[in-house]
Amino acid sequence: MEDFSIPQNSLFLGFDCSTQSLKATVLDANLTIVGTEIVNFDSDLPHYKTKDGVYRDPLINGRIVSPTLMWVEALDIILERFKRLNFDFAKVAAVSGSAQQHGSVYWKKGSAKILSSLDHKKSLVDQLHDAFSVKESPIWMDCSSTQQCRAIEEAIGGALELSRLTGSVAHERYAGPQIRKIFEMQPEVYRDTERISLVSSFMASLWIGGYACTDHTDGAGMNLMDIQSREWSKVALEATAPGLEEKLGKLAPAHAVAGPLASYYVDRYNFSKKCLVIQWSGDNPNSLAGLTLNTPGDLAISLGTSDTVFGIANYHKPSLEGHVFPNPVDTETYMVMLVYKNGSLTREDVRNRCANGSWDVFSDYLRQTPPLNGGKIGFYYKEHEILPPLPVGFHRYILDNYSDSHAGVNEHEVAQFDPPSEVRALIEGQLLSMRGHAERLGLPPPKRIIATGGASANICILSSIASIFGCDVYTVQRPDSASLGAALRAAHGWLCNEKGNFVPIPWMYTDKLEKTSLSCKLAETAGDEELLSQYTLLMKKRLEIENRLVQKLGRR
Ligand code: ADP
Ligand code: XUL
């Protein structure tokens, strides 16, 4: 890639420490994928006994955590796998990564010393087993901090004010409410904590052998950072816990160098001493980079463990539903996002109950059933949902007179659907909710949708996206846009460091990436206007029922 002066021999390494796995993508100097690896938490690290990478606490409602040490060991394993493949670590010019957003890591007093003196003859897990004051990190699926959320919002002057200040209203999974909960429930643990990292800055810390800064983008997912000034907000800190600023360390832009690579990696794996560690960031923001999303008409839908919908905006408008983060590859624009907790794991639940545990059968059911599902609407919350804030529960309705007009017609609740209708009700329901909430948030109707995440491999789901949103759907060659985005950001950070300043990410504004075929257009596209308008009516009906459910059962 001569025009950006990246030496031809270089490689860029990007990770994604997500809910269920640690993935890696390697790019060469032309930004072509030349390697991938994956460590699955449940199957490759069975001794942690996680299910889907997490522990669901049977005793405390909504408490969902992951063993912090498991992420450390996953890094050991993935690096050993690369080593066994004779991967030439010496060529890596920069490393960066993605991590599931919002999860927090609590470093015990004295751990900075352990980090700075890692012995290359030992694994990381052997050296860090005693480094955490909280051994099980609260993660993005947790919703056990509702009380702390309300208290923080009240202290700041209300939910909308907190959203104006930090980019989001208080969310149970955000680090701020989680930290407040630990301070309230385990003050001695809070006192014994010298540093609180996000999962992203925690992983970067492992690479630099010291505490990494929190990047501005993932930092916006804490309810602690002033989104305009990109500094810790004094009022938000005070509303959360005493002495917090010191425990959080500094903030830094996502393109910044986190620090020099720890000698551990040079000695153990033969990395170059010159290899840079670029700030890690959240998985969704890195997906935005990996999908080269660069125009307000682009909308991304990520169908991973969580489902997310995101696009770019030129300004930050406070809202009760969406999340706003600084764009990780730009200094001017923002990333606007909606998040659903009931994504792939809920699809798997319906697949297992109704489609013999087979994605093929699941897809056949989608093919067999008509669009609009004969007026059958379903709400499936296997976990407490984020959007809308509803508890675990399934709700199924049939519209009484669906073929005429969906708006204003009556519906009646039923206990179950036949299996094919259940599959369609789930998928249509998830997608109609995305469209309805995206419109409610003021996102413009998309000109094109770029789908990513594990379930974007399913062509029948992509086809439903095209019909429900009424636009073309693009996808990426490999559904792991988060580790791809991390590798691209590693290259971007390397470039910024080379130039001595922020430079716009060059390949976001050229057709270079398109040509290197990271995107391919689906043959099947939208275009049925009649169907689109029927979906619009169904979406309104769905929102109407959803509002009623929220009034009756909602957490807000
Ligand atoms: P993460 O958020 O952990 O990175 P991924 O993006 O890797 O998750 O997605 C993993 C999910 O992809 C699995 O839980 C699985 O349900 C889903 N998945 C994989 N293949 C298919 C398919 N053909 N159809 C629908 N979903 C799929
Ligand atoms: C985003 C969110 C999830 C996690 C999943 O706000 O909570 O998408 O990032 O890894």
Per-residue H/E/C for 143-154: CCCHHHHHHHHH
Q: Which of 232, 251, 279 lies at the terminal end of a domain, its last residue?
A: 279
Q: Which of 279, 302, 317 lies at the terminal end of a domain, its last residue?
A: 279
Domain span holding position 69: 11-279
Ligand (nearest to CA of 476) = 1
225 assigned to some structural domain: yes
What is the tens place of the pLDDT at every residue in 202-245?
Answer: 999 999 999 999 999 999 999 999 999 999 999 999 999 999 99
Per-residue H/E/C for 276-324: EEECCEEHHHHHHHHCCCCCCCEEEEEECCCEEEEEEECCCCCCCCCEE
| Closest to 151 in 3D by CA, of 173, 126, 176, 132 | 176
Q: How far apart are CA 498 and CA 491, in angstroms?
A: 10
255 and 348 housed in the same domain: no
Torsion of CA 256, 262, 268, 272, to 10 degrees: 50
490 assigned to some structural domain: no
352 and 247 housed in the same domain: no
What integer is the mean pLDDT of 418-440? Answer: 98
Nearest atom in ligand 2 to the alpha carbon of residue 323 is: 6
Q: How far is the CA of 176 from the centre of ligand 2 (A)?
A: 15
Residues with CB under 6 A from ligand 2: 18-19, 100-102, 140, 173, 221, 282-284, 306, 308, 323, 339
306 assigned to some structural domain: no
Burial class (CB in 10 A: 0-12, 13-18, 19+), 47: exposed
Q: How far is the CA of 263 from the centre of ligand 2 (A)?
A: 32
500 assigned to some structural domain: no
389 and 261 housed in the same domain: no
Read off the amino acid at residue 65: V
What is the tens place of the pLDDT at every residue in 116-146?
Answer: 999 999 999 999 999 999 999 999 999 999 9
Q: How far apart are CA 330 and CA 474, in angstroms?
A: 23
Nearest atom in ligand 2 to the alpha carbon of residue 306 is: 8
Nearest atom in ligand 2 to the alpha carbon of residue 101 is: 9
272 and 392 housed in the same domain: no
Nearest atom in ligand 2 to the alpha carbon of residue 19 is: 10
pLDDT attached to residue 296: 73
143 assigned to some structural domain: yes
122 and 233 housed in the same domain: yes
The pLDDT-based confidence of 553 (bands split at 50, 70, 90) is very high
Here the CATH number for the domain that contains residue 365 is: 3.30.420.40
pLDDT attached to residue 26: 97
Question: 146 in ligand 1 pocket by Cβ < 6 Å?
Answer: no
DSSP state of 71: H
pLDDT attached to residue 515: 29
pLDDT attached to residue 4: 59
Most ligand 1 atoms within 8 A of CB, residue of 40, 283, 344 to mutate = 344
Per-residue H/E/C for 194-246: EEEEEHHHHHHHHHHCCCCCEEHHHHHHHCCEECCCCEECHHHHHHHCCCHHH
128 and 263 housed in the same domain: yes
Q: Which of 248, 279, 310 lies at the terminal end of a domain, its last residue?
A: 279
Q: Write the CB contacts of 16 (distance below 8 Å, at least 6 apart in sequence).
A: 22, 23, 24, 25, 97, 98, 99, 283, 286, 480, 482, 483, 486
Q: Write the CB contacts of 316 (distance below 8 Å, at least 6 apart in sequence).
A: 167, 227, 228, 324, 334
398 and 538 housed in the same domain: yes
Question: 483 in ligand 1 pocket by Cβ < 6 Å?
Answer: no
Q: How far apart are CA 430 and CA 546, in angstroms?
A: 12
Number of domains in the chain: 2
Partners of residue 138 on adjacent β-strands: 65
495 assigned to some structural domain: no
| Closest to 63 in 3D by CA, of 129, 134, 130 | 134
125 and 206 housed in the same domain: yes
101 and 197 housed in the same domain: yes
Stronger pLDDT, 512 or 120, i.e. the higher one: 120
Helix 159-166, helix 146-156: angle, nearest 10: 80
pLDDT attached to residue 5: 73
Question: 454 in ligand 1 pocket by Cβ < 6 Å?
Answer: yes
Exposed e or buried b for every residue in 191-230, given b needs 16+ CB within 10 A? eebbbbbbbbbbbbbbbbbbbbbbbbbbbbbbbbbbbeeb
Are 180 and 145 in contact, with CB atoms under 8 Å apart?
A: yes
173 and 73 housed in the same domain: yes
Q: Write the CB contacts of 431 (distance below 8 Å, at least 6 apart in sequence).
A: 464, 465, 468, 469
> How long, in residues, is the chain?
556
Ligand (nearest to CA of 139) = 2
338 assigned to some structural domain: no
Question: 304 in ligand 1 pocket by Cβ < 6 Å?
Answer: yes
231 and 103 housed in the same domain: yes
DSSP state of 89: G
284 assigned to some structural domain: no
